[in-house]
Copies of this chain bind each other. A is one copy, B any other.
Amino acid sequence: MKLPAMEGPVCPLPLSHHDKIVLGHGSGGRMTKELIQKVFMTHLSSPPLLENNDFARLRLPDGATAQGKLIVSTDAHIVKPLFFAGGDIGRLAICGTVNDVSMSGAVPLYLTASFILEEGLSLETLDRVLRSMKEAADEAHVQVVAGDTKVVEKGKADGIFISTTGVGWLPPEYTIAGSEAKPGDIVLISGSIGEHGIAVLEARGELGFETQIQSDVAPLNHLVQSLLKAAPNTHVLRDPTRGGLATTLNEIAQQSDVCIELEEGAIPIQPAVLAACEMLGFDPLYIANEGKVIVIVPPEEAEAALSAMRNSRYGTQASRIGIIRETPKKRVLLKTDIGGTRILDMLASELLPRIC
């Protein structure tokens, strides 16, 4: 019986930056192993990955009890282009999932990453993305513990897609969720909004003018843990990503069956973002963020929460932007600078595709 497995092109040794991804890198055979060892493991090595099983065996944190909860979150990342001012798909893939896990109040511990690579992708590009993932994971103190790599034919994907899943551990004292906002609660935001979406648009060359706007993509877990020490009765944490601040607040208003009233003048927006939005006809309230968190706390903890955020690296511009009202239920209202009030609806369809 023939052994066609041995007849394919053999991967050149050693892999160099001039090489490109070929279908053989997704075979599960020798070329896949070489790619993993020489490219992926250079950056993303961890004790569970080094065991070379198809699974990672993980410890719960010290002091974990049966009353605690496991927190799991997943996200696919398809941002275009792969690199933009302030970040890239690798940093986004780590931070997006670290942040989603953090929004429960949990400490993120472990991440998995599954890659879909397009035939023809340069190893140099892959290497840059992996290095960026490693830096973001180190910053967030999370380990990448399991991964997978698939390759599809040229034209059947767009460079790199990365799906990450995060696992965290939630101590029993927190019950933070989108349904927990209560009338009288104060609405805070950890900083200025709209930077990520505009930075990606600029990287695509779609702005038609130049800006200095950098994406805010960042891991928020350390900020969230500081915040929770200062404001342990926090009701809601949520990061306003796709759909922006307005869409995320609409979700919370619906889940909690309350009204969220915002002060337009209190919402921090960088002048460059405001200018770009005005030229494009966009509303920054609907632009994606990747390093901001909405915090809803009882009024007696609002000052402590704000102060904890302002002392944290990614929260220096934290601001009080609104309040929870009883009615009109499931609505987000914006009190404008000129004294009016308008309803902020949810984003309807697509504003900016492939932003994350």
Contact = CB atoms under 8 A, between A and B. Distances in A.
Interface of A: 1-11, 22-24, 26-33, 51-60, 64, 66, 69-78, 100-101, 103-104, 106, 110, 112-116, 145-153, 155-158, 161, 163, 165, 167-168, 170, 177-179, 238-239, 241-243, 246-247, 251, 255, 277-278, 281-283, 286, 288, 345-351, 353-354, 356
A60 B70 contact: yes
A170 B347 CA distance: 43
B158 A74 contact: no
B69 A345 contact: no
Contact of A347 (B30, B145, B350): B30
A178 B59 CA distance: 19
A127 to B, nearest CB: 19
Give 9 nearest A-B pairs by CB, closest first.
A28-B242, A29-B347, A24-B349, A8-B349, A163-B163, A165-B165, A74-B112, A28-B243, A76-B114
Nearest to A69: B57
A74 B351 contact: no
Given A4-B283, A29-B247, A52-B178, A71 B57 contact: yes
B76 A116 contact: yes
Given A55-B101, A116-B161, A251-B52, A5 B351 contact: yes
Given A55-B71, A112-B73, A278-B1, A31 B349 contact: yes
A241 B251 CA distance: 41
Given A2-B281, A70-B59, A74-B147, A349 B53 contact: no
Looking at A10, A157, A286, A350, which has the most chain B CB atoms within 10 Å of its CB? A350
A53 B104 contact: yes
Given A30-B349, A77-B150, 13 more contacts: A2-B281, A5-B345, A10-B349, A22-B350, A29-B242, A53-B177, A55-B72, A55-B101, A58-B69, A60-B70, A74-B146, A76-B149, A78-B150
Contacts of A28: 241-243, 247, 288, 347
B350 A8 contact: yes
Nearest to A152: B78
A232 B23 CA distance: 39
Looking at A24, A51, A156, A278, which has the most chain B CB atoms within 10 Å of its CB? A156
Given A57-B69, A72-B55, A255-B52, A29 B346 contact: yes
A350 B26 contact: yes
Contacts of A57: 69-71, 104, 170
Contacts of A31: 348-350
Contacts of A281: 2, 4
Contacts of A71: 55-58
